Structures are given as structure tokens and as C-alpha cells.
Amino acid sequence: MSSNSLLQSIVDANGGLEYWKSVQSLSVEFEFLGPALESKGLPGPYKAEITVDTKSQKVIFKQFGDFHGSWSPTRTEVGKVGQQALDVRENPKAAFSTHTSESKWDIHNLFWFVGYAFWNYFNFPFYLEQNPEIKTRELEPLIRENGEKWPVLEVVFPDGYPTHTKIQRFDLDHQYRLRRMRYSVDVFKNDDLPAWHNCFNHAVAGKISYPTLRVVNISVPEFSFFSPFMLRDVKLEVNHS
């Protein structure tokens, strides 16, 4: 396992691994919105209520707008709220292989994207420590305009891992709270357009610190400043085994 003192400090600041072992799942509520959803043909906002498994890669969507279902790396299940029947797609990532940046999405595409994203967001930082194939290292800190130094953790994911892109950077404050993620999104097929995923208004559930507002910012030729996605009014509850 490739780890470092920074990752250990982040884990410790969120209760440590022994505490995490007692956590069976996370119940999360939020609103998900942004113009990128409209560009993909699935405009929000989506009121979401999900259960994030902490022991395996699985997300249960109790409600996601008018839909419900589940995500795992090999399968998505989608149905309309109030209806028991679920449509199943095996190997949902493969559907993106023929996409371009202009391609519209169906609801399975959306569940694949938000499923892996939310699993990684809400299992942070513990999944980085527990997966020996994920490599991490501490980079030189960022110096903010006010002189504050933000520690930076670089993460290299193994090929095929369900996440935005192979190499990502996580910026933290002096309390080891996640303040920003830096990555591109492979499934958007947008030539590695960089994203700055900013985290605000932190709260604590159990021993876990989490941002109640997440705003993704990108810079594209047509816009000097553009926010394709937002998670707001995030509420997290820790469920113990």
C-alpha cells in the first residue's frame, strides 16, 4: 500500500480507521443540479436521498428526482418512483465507449456517473487508505492569497477504477477538511477539461467532516467562469453496524 503521513492525518481527523470499521453505511440527502445536466438531456434539479455502502462499492438511490434504483461498478438499476419494476443495465460503463462530448445521456448513463461519483465523495478519505491499488503522495502545499497553506494529496487510481479520471488532486485546509478536488471527467469526452470541485460550509456527522455545499467550476472558451454541477443542502447521517 502506498500511503503517507498526510493521508493518515486526514483519516485521523475523521475518526480513524477503527471508527470507520463500525460504520455500515451513510444516509445522504441533497439537491443535485447544474447546466451540464441539461446539456446531457436530463435537466434537474434532482432531489436526492441515497444510501452509500461503506463496505462495498454500492449506492442505493431511494429517490433521485422521479427515479430510484442502484449503482455498482458492474450494474445499474433504474425505475420510476412508486413503481417496483427496475430496468437493469449490466456493464454500464461500456455504454460510454461510443459517446462524444455532444452525446445525450439516458438515465442509466446518469446513474453510472453519479453513482461512482457519490460513492467516492462520501467514502472519502477512507477508501484511499483501504485499497492497496490506489497510490497516494503528498505534493507541495498550495499557498493561498492570504498566505494560508493548503496540503495537497495526489491520488493515482488503478486502471478501470470507477472514478472521474486516473490522476486527481485533493486540497485540504489546516484541519484536514477537504476544500477542493481537481480532476477531469473521462465520461464527458471533453479532452480532459480540468474541473475545480470546491467544498464549502462543512458540518460533522459522527466523527466525519463533510461539505454541505459542493460547486464544480470549469473554464471553457465560451465562458470565463462556468459551474456545470452543484450539490447543495447536503445532510449526512452515519449508520453503524
Radius of gyration for the alpha carbons in the chain, expressed in angstroms and rounded: 17
Task: Going residue by residue through the chain, which has 241 residues, state the pLDDT in tens, using 9 for 90 and above.
Answer: 344 799 999 999 999 999 999 999 999 999 999 999 999 999 989 999 999 999 999 999 999 999 999 999 999 999 999 888 899 999 999 999 999 989 999 999 999 999 999 999 999 999 999 899 999 999 999 888 788 899 999 999 999 999 999 999 999 999 999 999 999 999 998 767 889 999 999 999 999 999 999 999 987 666 556 788 999 999 999 999 7
The residue assigned the cell 446539456 is 39
Q: How far apart are CA 208 and CA 22, in angstroms?
A: 13
A 10 A CB-CB count for 166 gives: 15
Instruction: Please give the biggest Cα pair distance in the chain.
Output: 55
Q: Are 157 and 170 in contact (CB under 8 A)?
A: no
In this predicted structure, what is the pLDDT of residue 146? 85
pTM of the model: 0.94
In this predicted structure, what is the pLDDT of residue 71? 98
User: What is the CATH code of the structural domain delimited by 5-236?
Assistant: 2.50.20
**Per-domain residue ranges for the chain?**
5-236
Residues facing residue 32 across a β-bridge = 46, 231
